[in-house]
Every structure is written in structure tokens, then in C-alpha cells.
Amino acid sequence: MASDFQPLYVLASGLFYQQRKLEVISNNLANLNTNGFKKVLLTAQASPVKGPEGGRVFSPSHQMVENNFVYPVMGKQKVDTSSGELKKTGNPLDMAINGSGFFAVKVGDKILYTRDGHFLLDKKGYLVNQNGFPVMDENGNKILIGRSSLAEVRVTRDGVIFVGTRRVAKLKITELKGVKHVGKNLYIGEERPAKNYEVVQGFVEGSNVNPIEEMVKMIETVRAYETFANALKTLDENNSKLINGVLKA
């Protein structure tokens, strides 16, 4: 019956889950020094498969996964939006958000979001990120600072940019619901007005990855992977002995 194959599917799914966890942890560690990077968390859940009448499936066939009574499935990847450490640079164009919210940058015809406030000026004097993507103001326009002395650039806590006494623009700061990675430190999500934040000039936000915590997770995951692999090997050996015993009988 399908129940005879349930351990096989459970262990195989466990192996896959631990392998995926290793990939996520490795990516987190690889971005340890990426400004504004938010680590990813991976979840899993057990999903009982239900039959047409709401009961469990009792098909004798094991060839289809859905014929198993309970099947572990991969859960969702969740972006941890907790803040990283603010690092002082002294660069007037560097900005960090203390609290919730993201900066907005224009990539092609799309608006994406980032916590990396290491900004520069392009040849025309527009405020851009390291990849040359324009930083957006509250009205969705590019921010022209010009080629003035950087010492004249001042940014208030609510994100208003001044050059000397001239008000240039106010940064677009947006909270996001359902945050998802679309690059190392670029994100998408459902926009919401940002409330609890302040912009800090002369600082950048580092990654929120804790290397010790991630290394501990990696060790635990490797051990779990080995446990599933050994259990799967033992199950296969026992099944082989059982089959051979039946054939000999």
C-alpha cells in the first residue's frame, strides 16, 4: 500500500529540504559584507493529502506523490527585514535608514527598493546607486543635485535633501509588505507609507547576517542531511532484505 512508501517520501523530502537550507545559508554568508542585504529564512511544513470527500487518499499506487497520506513540502522563503549595523563613512552622499522603510531606485521601467544607501553622482549630477540606477524622490522623479561641493549637501532625518539652503528633493522612503529578493540588495513588495524611520547621513547599513548564527545553522543542517541520508540507506537495505526474503520463500 501507499503507506509502505511513506517513509521513502518523507526521508527524500527531508534530504531535499536540508539541501535547500544549505543553499539559503550559503547565500546569506556570501552576502555578509553586502550593504543593505537582508538574510533569507526557509520554512517547511507537512501537508496531508486529502481525497475527493475530504478524507485521506488510500490509493495502493505509490508512483504518484499525491497518493501518500502525509507529504513534507517546502515552505516559503521569508526575507528577514531586521536592521543591519549602521557604519559611519562620513561621505555626505551615503545614507542609512534607521527604522523601517526602503529607498526607491529606478531599474529600467521598474521601481525597485533597497536599504543600501551608498549613493553617488552620475556625470549629469543625478543621485544614483553603485549600479548607476537613479534614486527616486517622493514624486517618483530622479534627484538632481548637480556638481556642487559635496560639503554643501545636507539630508534631514525625514529625507529632505538640501544643497546649501536650496531644497532639492525629498527621498521616497517606502515600507514593503511581502518583501522578496530580486538581486543581492534589491527588493520588491507591496508598498506602504513609511512611518517609523529616520534618514542618517554619512552612514551606510550593513548586512543583517550574523555569521556565527549562520555557521551554527550550517553545521546543524549538514548533520540533519547526514541523518536523513543514513536513514534512507538503512530503509533501502531493509526493503531489499524483505524483498529477497519474499522471493526466496
> Looking at this protein, which amino acid is placed at residue 44?
A
Residues 231 and 218: their CA atoms lie apart, in Å, by 20
pLDDT for res 58: 46
Q: What are phi and psi of 195, to 5 degrees?
A: -120, -55
Between 182 and 43, the higher pLDDT residue? 182
pTM to 2 decimal places? 0.79
> Which tens digits make up the pLDDT trace of 19-59?
889 999 999 999 999 999 999 998 776 665 554 444 444 45
Query: Which pLDDT band, with edges at 50, 70 and 90, does 64 fall under?
Result: low
Residues 18 and 9: their CA atoms lie apart, in Å, by 14
> Which three cell numbers mark 23?
543553499
> Which three cell numbers mark 36?
543593505
> Which tens digits make up the pLDDT trace of 141-151?
999 999 877 88
Between 62 and 244, the higher pLDDT residue? 244
pLDDT for res 158: 94
For the chain, the C-alpha Rg in angstroms (whole number) is 26
> Which residue in 91, 143, 156 sits closest to 117, CA to CA?
91
> Which tens digits make up the pLDDT trace of 155-181?
999 999 999 999 999 999 999 999 999
pLDDT for res 208: 96
> Looking at this protein, which amino acid is placed at residue 40?
V
Residues 127 and 122: their CA atoms lie apart, in Å, by 7
> Which tens digits make up the pLDDT trace of 79-138?
999 999 999 999 999 999 999 999 999 999 999 999 999 999 999 999 999 999 999 999
